[in-house]
Amino acid sequence: MHDLSGVSDELARSLEQLEFEVGTLWREFQDTDWYGNSPHFPFAHFGYMMAIFAHIDLLSRYWAGRDRPQTPRMVGFLDRDVHPGKTEENCVAVQLWRHTVMHTGEARRLLDTTSQKHYTWRLDFGPGTQLLYPHYSIYYDADDGLWVLVIVVANLVADLKQGQARYLRDLAANVGRLQAKYQSQDPDIRLQSFESSRCR
């Protein structure tokens, strides 16, 4: 296995860069009043959310291997290390920010066909944003008849840093044979393969 301190440093650097970029852009957006852009740069928001959830996908793959399908694996990792006790929020967040944005180019309303709940989102960029409802919570908007997932991008990066630190502590202690799972996944993650014949 790679040196555990090297693994930790590599994963930490990735989130530190993300934290730096989000914080820098947040200050820029505040200083310039979003350059007069009334939608407040939604694609910057979406891009960072895709990066955050791609990182969650990566950590969940190291954590669980390929034993579980992608969505339950990601939700399981969030339940365990990032936002315990928030399974509904985790499930909606993965669907919205890992799947819907990635596959359709924008965030879109969701229908949970199990509960028949309709979901939308409230996405803010920086720390200290004044919110009516807490970061990473769901509330019901009676006016629209929608359940709303509230996320602050900078806060989510901080949450993920704490969750990653928990995972890395367990990895170092080999909790539940995490090192074997990490080793089994790392080669395929570091060198991605594809078949060009399937591109035609």
* Contact indicator for 99, 50 with CB cutoff of 8 Å: no
Low-confidence ranges of the chain (pLDDT < 70): 1-2
The pLDDT score that the predictor gives to residue 93 is: 98
Residues 119-135 pLDDT 10s:
999 999 987 777 889 99
So what's the pLDDT on residue 3? 74
Torsion of CA 187, 166, 24, 51, to 10 degrees: 40
Is 136 within 8 Å of 89 (Cβ atoms)?
yes
Would you state the pLDDT for residue 33? 95
Would you state the pLDDT for residue 2?
58
Residues 1 and 200: their CA atoms lie apart, in Å, by 37
Beta bridge partners of 123: 151
β 146-152/137-141 pair status: antiparallel
> Alpha-carbon distance 40 to 166, whole Å?
33
